[in-house]
Amino acid sequence: MKTSRNQAINGLTRWGVAALGVVLSVGTASEALSQSTPIAAVTPDPAGSISAERIRAQKLFQALTAVRVPIDDSRLVQMEGLIRAGNTRGAAAVATRDPLFLDVQVRDVARRMATRDESVRAPMSDFVATFIGVVRDSDTTSAKALLTGNFYYRVDPAVATTANVRQDELADIIQSNRHFDDITARNLSPSAVLVRQSPQRAMRGGVAIDHPDAAGLITSRGFVEAHAVAGTNRRMVEYAFKQFMCSSMTDWADANGSDERVAQDVTRTPSGSVNLYQTTCKSCHSGMDGFRGAFAYLDFNNNSQTFTNNTVVGKMTRNATEYQQGYRMTDNTIVNYAIGTKNADRFGWRSSTTGVGIADFGRMLADSRGFSRCMVKKAFTSVCRRPPLASEETLVRSLADQFETDGYHMRRMFENVAVQQQCVQ
C-alpha cells in the first residue's frame, strides 16, 4: 500500500508548531552534548510515494519518542527497511536509541510519577533524572534498582562546570532542587549529561550523611519532598503503591486485613460507629499502617530529607490519645497485611512479608509481580496513548513476564509494548 507524499507530510500539521518546537529544542541540546552518531540524511523525492512500512515507522517512532518527525527523516528510512524485513522490534530499537526517547517520552513518564498531582509539567528532579538514567542504562541496570538502588543520577560534574549548572552538594542537591532545575534552564539533554552518583545522601542533625536506608526512587529527595512533608508518612506508602504497583488506596483496601498495626491516631468509632471503622477505615489503614513503620525515622524539614538516629519521629505517634489501645510505633519494622485473597493475585508477592526499614519495603515491592505489571502499564499508557483495557490484562501479564525474563530491561520493555498490534498499527 502506498500513500501520497502530500498526505504523509500534511499529517504533520495536526502536531503544529508546538511539536516542532520540541524537536528543535531537544535537537539543539542533543547536537551539543550527545555522543550518538547521527544517521545520514536522505534527499526527499517530491514525486515519490510513501510505503505502508514508512508510515508505520513514523507512527512507531512517534509512539516511542512522543515526537513526530518528517516522513523523509533518515531514522524512518532505516526503520522502514527493518519493518519490511519483518524486524519490527529492531525498528522500535532505532527509536529507543534516539535521545528523544529518553529526553521526552521517558522524562514525561517520570514526571507524572514524581509528584502528587501527577502532572507532566512537574520539574526535573533527582527522581526524574534517576528514572531516565536507569532506563538509559538498561543494559547494565535492572529496573528493580528503581526501588532498591543506593544511587541517584546528576549532571556530569565536568559538564555542569562548563554549562554553569549549580552543583554544590549541600546547597544545590540535598537541600534544594537547583541542580536539576538547571538541566531545564540550560536546555541540556538528560540522556547525554546524566551520570550515576553513589550513595544517596540525606541529613542528620544538620549534617550531610550517606543515606542510612536507601531505596531507589522512594528515597529520592523529590519523592520524599512530595510525600513526607507534614502528615504521618502514610502518603509515602500510598504513593509508593500508586506509582510502582499501579494501585490506588481504594484498589487495595481490604476490610479483612489485620488491624494489629493501625495506629493510635485512628478512631475506632468514626461518627460513633464501630461498624464504619470495621468496613471502611480499617480497610485502608490495615495495609498502610502495616508498611508505614518503614519510614519511622524519616522526615522532610529544612528543605531536605532528614533521619533521626534510630528514634521514631514525632509525627508517627501524634494524636496518641485518640485510641490509646492502638498500635504505638517504637521502631521501623514492617508487616505486609496486603496478602489476603483480595490482593494476593493483584500484587503477587514473592518475598518475605516482614522487614525492617525503607530498603526492605522497596525490595518487597520490587520483587513482586505487581511491580513488573505496573511498569508495563506505565509504558503502555504512555506509548499507546491510553491505559490498557481490562480485556487486555492477559497481554499486560504476558509483557510483564517477558520483562522479567529479559532481566527487567526497561528499554526493551518499551519496545515490546510498542510493537503490539493493540498499540501502534
**Tens digit of each residue's pLDDT, the chain (425 residues):** 555 555 555 444 333 333 333 433 333 333 334 444 445 566 666 777 899 999 999 999 999 999 999 999 999 999 999 999 999 999 999 999 999 999 999 999 999 999 999 999 999 999 999 999 999 999 999 999 999 999 999 999 999 999 999 999 999 999 999 999 999 999 999 999 999 999 999 999 999 999 999 999 999 999 999 999 989 999 999 999 999 999 999 999 999 999 999 999 999 999 999 999 999 999 999 999 999 999 999 999 999 999 999 999 999 999 999 999 999 999 999 999 999 999 999 999 999 999 999 999 999 999 999 999 999 999 999 999 999 999 999 999 999 999 999 999 999 999 999 999 999 87
From 97, 120, 144, give the residue that closes a domain.
97
Domain assignment present for residue 315? The answer is yes
Domain assignment present for residue 41? The answer is yes
Residue 354 and residue 252 share a domain: yes
Residue whose C-alpha is closest to residue 243's, from 267, 264, 218: 218
Q: Are 133 and 220 in contact (CB under 8 A)?
A: no
What pLDDT does residue 49 have? 82
Domain assignment present for residue 225? The answer is no
From 142, 177, 198, give the residue that closes a domain.
198
Residue 240 and residue 354 share a domain: yes
Residue 48 and residue 140 share a domain: no
Domain assignment present for residue 207? The answer is no
Residue 420 has phi, psi (to 5 degrees) of: -70, 140
Residue 350 and residue 251 share a domain: yes
Residue 123 and residue 53 share a domain: no
Domain assignment present for residue 177? The answer is yes
Residue 378 and residue 352 share a domain: no
H or E segment and range at residue 353: none
What pLDDT does residue 36 have? 41
Residue 89 and residue 116 share a domain: no
Domain assignment present for residue 379? The answer is yes
Give the integer Cα–Cα distance in Å for 304 and 301: 6
Domain assignment present for residue 221? The answer is no
Domain assignment present for residue 290? The answer is yes
Residue 242 and residue 350 share a domain: yes
Residues of the domain holding 409: 369-418
Is the backbone peptide bond immediately before 199 cis, with ω within 30 degrees of 0? yes
Whole-structure pTM value: 0.91
Residue 350 and residue 237 share a domain: yes
Q: Are 104 and 21 in contact (CB under 8 A)?
A: no
Residue 60 and residue 26 share a domain: yes
Give the integer Cα–Cα distance in Å for 93 and 187: 25
Provide the β-strand partners of residue 299: 306
Residue 346 and residue 265 share a domain: yes
Q: Are 111 and 122 in contact (CB under 8 A)?
A: yes
Residue 272 and residue 351 share a domain: yes
In total, how many domains does the chain have? 4
Instruction: Name the one residue in this structure whose C-alpha cell is 480499617.
Output: 282
